[in-house]
């Protein structure tokens, strides 16, 4: 099995400055993928960059906190903050709501589908998903969004956990070597 290094840039579409940085770093060979925010203020510009640079892998950076939904607010009330229009303003507030059972999986799925389809409607080839502030690490979120991604033709999700580098040396007799596949 060959190894390859993927360097991903989050928050593509959030600002023109981030978009420029993603493009420059991709052209320089430093960034191989980026995750695009469906409701980022600079979304249209980022989508144009993605279409013009097909070698750049583009994922959907699903946002469930600190942002604006694609879905009508009335259809996803358990995801919204106090204003009833935007997501909860912090990851901590989102985490508390998830742990208290206040977030509905069906609403996460609805919003995930809306965000993915916004990218696809902009003719962006979506290669993977991840979430803003790594909210997909909550089992409730992962269970809601992974089937949606698959139904939209996306088979990969970004794992935010990086292995230690350099990897520890292993000998064939070590227990880690027998239980660790590469």
In sequence order, the 6+-apart residues with CB closer than 8 A to the CB of 174 are: none
Per the listing, tokens 């070590």 go with 174
Task: Kindly report the CATH number assigned to the domain that includes residue 88.
Answer: 3.20.20.370
DSSP H/E element including 114: helix 105-121
Distance of CA 22 to the CA centre of its chain: 15
Measured between its terminal Cα atoms, the distance across the chain in Å is 8
Indicate the pTM of the whole model: 0.86
- Write the pLDDT tens digit of every residue in 97-138: 999 999 999 999 999 999 999 999 999 999 999 999 989 989
* Within-domain flag for 139: yes
* Within-domain flag for 107: yes
How many residues appear in the chain?
A: 182
- Quote the number of domains for the chain: 1
Q: Closest Cα to residue 42, out of 9, 10, 14?
A: 14
**Strand, helix or coil for residue 109:** helix
Distance of CA 29 to the CA centre of its chain: 21
* Within-domain flag for 66: yes
- Write the pLDDT tens digit of every residue in 72-85: 999 999 999 999 99
Q: What domain range is 32 assigned to?
A: 8-179
- Phi/psi at 121 (5° precision): -65, -25
- Write the pLDDT tens digit of every residue in 37-92: 999 999 999 999 999 999 999 999 999 999 999 999 999 999 999 999 999 999 99
* Within-domain flag for 127: yes
């Amino acid at each position: 099995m060959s190894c390859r290094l993927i360097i991903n840039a989050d928050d593509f579409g959030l600002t023109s400055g981030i978009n420029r940085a993603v493009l420059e770093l991709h052209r320089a060979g430093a960034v191989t993928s980026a995750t695009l925010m469906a409701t980022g203020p600079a979304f249209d510009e980022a989508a144009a960059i993605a279409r013009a640079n097909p070698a750049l892998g583009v994922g959907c950076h699903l946002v469930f906190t600190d942002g604006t939904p694609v879905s009508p607010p009335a259809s996803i009330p358990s995801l919204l903050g106090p204003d009833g229009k935007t997501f909860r303003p912090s990851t901590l507030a989102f985490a508390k709501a998830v742990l208290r059972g206040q977030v509905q999986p069906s609403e996460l799925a609805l919003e995930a589908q809306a965000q993915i389809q916004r990218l696809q409607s902009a003719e962006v080839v979506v290669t993977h998903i991840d979430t803003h502030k790594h909210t997909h690490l909550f089992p409730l979120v992962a269970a809601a969004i992974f089937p949606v991604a698959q139904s939209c033709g996306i088979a990969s999700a970004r794992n935010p956990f990086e292995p230690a580098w350099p990897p520890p040396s292993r000998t064939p007799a070590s227990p880690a070597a027998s239980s660790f596949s590469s």
